[in-house]
A and B are shown apart, each in its own frame.
Chain A
């Protein structure tokens, strides 16, 4: 049994509090993954390892919210959507979960 969901325009939310901005669609079986906090150094290393030739500038010190500026030759000729997907793909299901929010700016070089 599930409740009726209606997608409505202009339906007012109940609360003012800012809640999670990118919670995952489902709880992931994270195990050990969830125990260590993400760092900007880790994100930088993983982006640069995951996308050939990429250079990433990552900021964010709270362990959850990060901003990354990523330049890579692989972005050439790709739409912004496709460029961002390449970066998202590096993190898979961690995005929105362990890595709560990743603000992205991508540049082809």
Chain B
């Protein structure tokens, strides 16, 4: 609150959102989600075989704090596409079901019968590394 003007962590998050076309802020990782909501959301992206950046918000509570301040969205996960907040777990699930998510991402909607989130389909996004040296 005291350093509105100097907030390297918020800038780093903002930069990550801007520089990754598809970025998911979640609890845990796509391979090892730490929350059912995060698992479902990462699973939808994996089912669409789209590559995405994922940021684990758990290592530092301030990531969550700054992210929510930036996005004006209270809960995790949060999916951003082309710099815009798409939504959390519910919205992403709805959009996955309706095919809107595939459309937004410009990918094919998988067959209905194929269960989402086959681990083998998980795309390894290029490493996103935001170093926050706050001391």
Instruction: Write the residues of chain A forming the contact surface with B, with a CB cutoff of 8 angstroms.
Output: 1-13, 15-23, 25-26, 80-81, 84-85, 88, 95-96, 101, 103-105
Contacts and interface: CB of A to CB of B under 8 A. Distances in A.
Interface residues of B, dominant DSSP: mixed
Given A13-B58, A22-B76, A80-B87, A8 B94 contact: no
Interface in B53-92: 53-56, 58-65, 68-69, 72-76, 85-91
B134 interface: yes
Contacts of B58: 13
B34 A18 contact: yes
B5 interface: no
A26 B65 contact: yes
B124 interface: yes
B107 interface: no
B75 A95 contact: yes
A13 B56 contact: yes
A9 B123 CA distance: 11
A59 B116 CA distance: 26
